Amino acid sequence: MKRILILLLVLSVVGINAQTVKLKIIETTDVHGSVFPYDFKNDKEKNGSLAQVHTYVNEERAKEDQHVLLIDNGDILQGTPLVYYYNFEKTDVPHVYADVMNYMKYDVGTVGNHDIETGHPVYDKFRTEIDFPWLAANAIDTKTGKPYFEPYKILEVEGIKIAVIGLITPHIPNWLPEKIWEGIEFEDMIETAKKYVDLIKQNENPDLVIGLFHSGGDYNYNEQDADTYKNENASQLIAKRVIGFDIIYVGHDHKIWNKKVENSDGDSVLFLGASSSARNTAVANVLLTKENNNWVSECSGKIVEMSNYKPDSVFVEKFKNSFKTVREYVNKPIGKLTKDISTIDAILGPSEFVDLIHTIQLELTKADVSFSAPLSFNTTLNKGDIYVRDMFKLYKYENLLYTMELTGKEIKDYLEYTYFLWFSKMNNADDHLLKYVKDENGEIKYSERSKAPMLDARFYNFDCAAGIDYTVDLSKEPGKRVSIISLSTGKPFDENVKYKVALNSYRGNGGGGHLIKGAGIPHEELSKRIITSTEKDLRYFMMEWIKDKGVVNPALLNNWKVIPEDWYKKAREKDYKILFE
Kindly state whether residues 298 and 363 are assigned to the same domain.
no
Nearest alpha-carbon partner for 448 in 275, 291, 330, 293: 275
Kindly state whether residues 260 and 302 are assigned to the same domain.
yes
- Residue 52 falls inside a structural domain: yes
- Residue 132 falls inside a structural domain: yes
Measure the CA–CA gap between 295 and 184, rounded to whole angstroms: 37
Report helix, strand and coil shares of the chain as percent, to nearest 5: 35, 25, 35
- Range from 143-152, 182-191, 538-547 carrying the lowest mean pLDDT: 538-547
Query: CATH code at 96?
Result: 3.60.21.10
Strands 247-250 and 208-214: parallel
Kindly state whether residues 438 and 469 are assigned to the same domain.
yes
Per DSSP, the three-state class of 183 is coil
Mean per-residue pLDDT, 115-133:
97
| Cα-to-chain-centroid distance, residue 276 | 9
Structural contact between residues 423 and 474, judged by C-beta atoms closer than 8 angstroms: yes
- Range from 246-250, 392-396, 480-484, 559-563 carrying the lowest mean pLDDT: 392-396
pLDDT band at 448 (very low <50, low <70, confident <90, very high): confident
Say if residue 10's pLDDT is above 50.
no
Measure the CA–CA gap between 173 and 113, rounded to whole angstroms: 10
Nearest alpha-carbon partner for 371 in 508, 237, 200, 166: 508
Taking only the tens place, the pLDDT of each residue in 323-374 is 999 999 999 999 999 999 999 999 999 999 999 999 999 999 999 999 999 9
Kindly state whether residues 67 and 201 are assigned to the same domain.
yes
Measure the CA–CA gap between 390 and 544, rounded to whole angstroms: 13
Q: What is the predicted pLDDT for the residue at 5?
A: 41
Structural contact between residues 328 and 544, judged by C-beta atoms closer than 8 angstroms: no
Measure the CA–CA gap between 415 and 515, rounded to whole angstroms: 10
CA dihedral 315, 318, 324, 330 (to 10 degrees): -50
Secondary structure (DSSP) of 406-422: EEHHHHHHHHHHHHHHH
Measure the CA–CA gap between 423 and 96, rounded to whole angstroms: 43
Structural contact between residues 28 and 249, judged by C-beta atoms closer than 8 angstroms: no
Kindly state whether residues 337 and 320 are assigned to the same domain.
no
Say if residue 16's pLDDT is above 50.
no
**C-beta contacts of 53-58 below 8 A and 24+ residues apart:** 53/26, 53/28, 53/104, 53/278, 53/281, 53/306, 53/309, 54/104, 54/311, 54/312, 54/315, 55/309, 55/310, 55/311, 55/312, 55/315, 56/26, 56/281, 56/304, 56/306, 56/309, 57/26, 57/104, 58/312
Longest alpha-carbon distance in the chain:
107
Say if residue 15's pLDDT is above 90.
no
Of 326, 360, 380, which residue sits at a domain end? Answer: 326
Question: Is pLDDT larger for residue 150 or for residue 2?
Answer: 150
Measure the CA–CA gap between 157 and 258, rounded to whole angstroms: 24
Measure the CA–CA gap between 323 and 318, rounded to whole angstroms: 10
Domain that holds residue 182: 19-326
pLDDT band at 451 (very low <50, low <70, confident <90, very high): confident
Say if residue 479's pLDDT is above 70.
yes
Kindly state whether residues 210 and 349 are assigned to the same domain.
no
Residues counted in the chain: 581
> Which CA distances in Å does 416 have to 260, 469, 477, 550?
42, 14, 10, 37
pLDDT band at 3 (very low <50, low <70, confident <90, very high): very low
- pTM: predicted TM-score of the whole model, two decimal places: 0.90
Kindly state whether residues 387 and 431 are assigned to the same domain.
yes
pLDDT band at 114 (very low <50, low <70, confident <90, very high): very high
Mean per-residue pLDDT, 245-266:
96
Backbone angles phi, psi at 388, to 5 degrees: -55, -40
As for how many domains the chain has, the answer is 2
b vs e for 70-97, b when ≥16 Cβ sit within 10 Å of the residue's Cβ?
A: bbbbbbbbbbbbbbbbbbbeeeeeebbb
Kindly state whether residues 94 and 145 are assigned to the same domain.
yes
Taking only the tens place, the pLDDT of each residue in 538-548 is 999 999 999 99
Kindly state whether residues 486 and 399 are assigned to the same domain.
yes
